[in-house]
Chains A and B, each alone.
Chain A
Amino acid sequence: MAEVIVVTSGKGGVGKTTSSAAFATGLAQRGKKVVVIDFDVGLRNLDLIMGVERRVVFDIVNVIQGEARLNQALIRDKRVDTLQILPASQTRDKDALTKEGVGQIIEELAKDNDYILCDSPAGIEKGALLALYFADQAIVVTNPEVSSVRDSDRILGVLQSKSKRAEDRKEPVKEHLLVTRYDPVRVEKGEMLKLDDIREILAIPLLGVIPESESVLRASNTGTPVVMDAESVAGQAYKDAVGRFLGDKVEHRFLEAQKKGLFSRLFGGRAA
């Protein structure tokens, strides 16, 4: 039976899709069987970030409406063969998703996978609620910024009241904090919330801190999940976070501003 993990945030644009792609790929690289589902119906993007946009034939809405079978809509990753992607529909809206339909898909996928990752859309409306409803665990993506922290707190409340686990009065959804776009230089200058402050306010276990990094944009340009870029600090931080998720003891890295060398000072270089 697979564990269902939702990647959520409330706020838009904080790095959910980037993190879903990185986590799904990272887990698959560790030999796990993984399916990553795009719940952003109407605004699908996971296919682009995963680099499979040319191969999308059917999507989650086609499956729910009985127009295609689940195995026809799944796209197998060409780089890591234990990884599959279930794309969102680009032409319908979120009302095309139903709780029963999503439940059936997850039940079927759970039979022969280890992890099902759900890339949530922003907001706390239908799409976001369905993405988190079946979750066993939640990765709450938060930027060091006031509105993102507040929205994360809000989504934690939703997880505790509106998830299936909450409704069934089961053990609550296991929560993980993933801080992304962290810029130690700005934190040092006192311009950005410190990690410790975010942890104190949200008070959930910390899974990882992903630094602000230019490699994230480069990775999205080519459709390669950033975790595959071994030179990138963001890629390494995601790899560490995946390790921690699987129980490895890994120290947090990239929390301090790096002392700049002569070259990067001259050319104004930033994190790789």
Chain B
Amino acid sequence: MSWLDFFRARKPDTTAAAAKERLQIVLAHERIGRTREDFLPKLQQEIVAVVAKYVAIDPGKVNVSLDRGGDMSTLAIEIDLPGPAGDRIRGAAAS
């Protein structure tokens, strides 16, 4: 510890505080995952199947992104639609 850290340590925004916050978020999600099967693969498959009923899509052009938070997480599913218009469906779900 350098002598500057002596003063820094008094501030609440230490790296250790950041570590605790990150762990609380990630562990909260992992503990849920332990009791329940990981639903994301299935969710994605079903969404793709529903969309595929209406438009021909390339399953490789489906992107799922997630941002886990403390109070809220966001899940975004992005599907590239073919065709001249090049439309794109975006769906977002929060939990």
Contact = CB atoms under 8 A, between A and B. Distances in A.
Interface of A: 48, 53-58, 62, 67-69, 71-72, 90-91, 214, 217-218, 220-223, 263-264, 266-270, 272
Interface residues of B, number: 29
A266 B6 CA distance: 13
B33 interface: yes
A221 B15 contact: yes
B19 A69 contact: no
B1 A48 contact: no
Contacts of A214: 1
Nearest to A224: B15
B29 to A, nearest CB: 8
A214 B16 CA distance: 12
Contacts of B60: 69, 71
Nearest to B1: A269
Q: Which of B1, B45, B59 has the most CB of A within 10 A?
A: B1
Contacts of B67: 54-55
Contacts of A54: 22, 25-26, 66-69
A111 to B, nearest CB: 15
A70 B38 CA distance: 18
B15 A58 contact: no
Interface string B1-22: 1110010000000011011001
Contacts of B59: 69
Nearest to A268: B1
Nearest to B62: A72
B40 interface: yes
Contacts of B38: 91
